[in-house]
Amino acid sequence: MVSWTDSESTNGSAAQYISSSDSPVKIPATIDEPSFEGLADDLNVICEHGNPGRKYVAFEGISTGRRFIACATEGVANYGLVQWVDEHWSEHLQNAIHKLWLMYEHSQHENRMACLEHSSTVHNLTQQKKELQETYEKLIEDVNNLLDYKDSQPKVNQKNDANNILVSVESSMTKDAEIKKLKAVVDQLKQIHVAQATVIRNFKFNHLKEKEKLSSDKRTLEICYADLKKEKDDLKKEKDKLDCCIAELMKVKEKLTMEKSTLASCIVELKIAGDSNKRKLPQIKAICDED
């Protein structure tokens, strides 16, 4: 668990120190950001080793784009994250970042699977080519042995030799036809190998394009986040204004309520006075009639 204490630094300015009683927080993957890098001397954040922290910008999961301070002392037991500078992103922004990372990981997985599949195909084709090459070389060797055997035979049995030569020629023609077929298969395998290489290059090119697109989406997301932050600040200012207006209206309401109570009291008194005058009016009229 991370605990913070405030103490005075050597130059007299207030600095924040951190100590880790449990395992240190793992530092996430980061991205280069010229506007936020180097030691955090200006933030007065010092790790438990007594050294200023280092500035980083996260590039991992839903914390992508959040700035944080990490321990700059490498090779020590408690080397890890010190403090987040930015608060957690809003829920809709976290969902958008999570969706982008899922798309990127899915693309990476598909590319890896495609490369494995093509590697397996190329390996199988190479094995087939090797087997065909061995078969072709064996056929060549058999033909050469047959020709050598014919040359070594005596000329006594010319008729038998002629028959043997005819059979050998027919066999050679058959083997030549097989060799031509094997050459055609080898050429076809070479074409397939070239096609596979082209497909792999296209996959790599598409991967680079997707990576550029993700970078563009990230920049767009950062712009949207800046706009949302600005809009949030504007809404907060408008809310403060509305709170002030509501407070003034409440004061006016209280004043009107007091005036209403005063008017009601005056009306009751006037009504009582009117009733009293109505009761006195007959008496006054009777006195006037006597006179």
Cβ atoms of 79 and 26 closer than 8 Å? no
Both tokens of 277, joined, read: 């005058």
Q: Does 101 reside within a domain?
A: no
Say yes or no to pLDDT of 222 above 80. Answer: yes
Categorize the per-residue pLDDT at 23 as very low, low, confident or very high, splitting at 50, 70 and 90: very low
Domain assignment present for residue 50? The answer is yes
Tens-place pLDDT, residues 40-72: 777 777 777 777 888 899 998 888 999 988 887
Structural domain count, the chain: 1
What percent of the chain clears pLDDT 70, i.e. is strictly above it? 81
| Residues across the chain | 291
Mean pLDDT of the 222-251 span: 89
Residue 43 tokens, joined: 């933030």
Find where tokens 């064996």 sit: 138
> Phi first, then psi: what are they for 56, rounded to 5°?
-140, 160
Distances (CA, A) of 281 to 252, 274, 278, 284, 287: 42, 10, 5, 5, 10
Dist. CA 202–CA 223, nearest whole Å = 31
How much is the pLDDT for 196?
79
| Residue 171 in domain | no
**141 versus 65: which is more confidently predicted?**
65
Assigned token pair, 124: 């199988």
Find the helix or strand (DSSP H, E) in which 144 lies.
Answer: helix 91-152
Please check the confidence at residue 193 and state whether its pLDDT lies above 60.
Answer: yes
The residue type at 133: Q
Question: 3-state class of 231 per DSSP?
Answer: helix
Strands 45-46 and 14-20: parallel
Residue 100: pLDDT band (50, 70, 90) is very high
Q: For residue 80, tell me if it sits in a domain.
A: yes
Average pLDDT, the chain: 79
Average pLDDT estimate for 232-253? 90
Q: What residue numbers bound the domain in which 75 lies?
A: 30-88
Lowest mean pLDDT among 78-87, 162-171, 238-247, 250-259: 162-171
The answer to whether residue 154 is domain-embedded is: no
Least confident of 146-160, 187-201, 225-239, 244-258: 146-160
The answer to whether residue 289 scores a pLDDT higher than 80 is: no
How confident is the model at residue 157, as a pLDDT? 52
Taking each helix axis from N to C end, the angle separating 91-152 and 158-290, rounded to the nearest 10 degrees, works out to: 170
Q: Is residue 5 scored above 60 in pLDDT?
A: no
Is 42 a domain residue? yes
Classify residue 78: in a domain, yes or no: yes
CB atoms within 10 A of CB 165: 14
Give the closest residue to 105 by CA, choosing from 58, 61, 57.
Answer: 61
Domain assignment present for 275:
no
Q: Is 284 exposed, middle or buried (0-12, 13-18, 19+ CB in 10 A)?
A: exposed
More confident call, 21 vs 148:
148
Q: Is the pLDDT of residue 26 over 70?
A: yes
- As a whole number of angstroms, the distance between CA 132 and CA 198 comes to 24
Rg over CA atoms, the chain: 47
> What is residue 18's predicted lDDT score, i.e. its pLDDT?
43
Q: What is the pLDDT of residues 145-186, one digit of tens each?
A: 877 776 676 554 555 655 666 676 677 778 778 788 888 888
Residues paired with residue 54 on neighbouring β-strands, in sequence order: 39, 70
Asked whether the predicted pLDDT for residue 11 surpasses 70, the reply is no
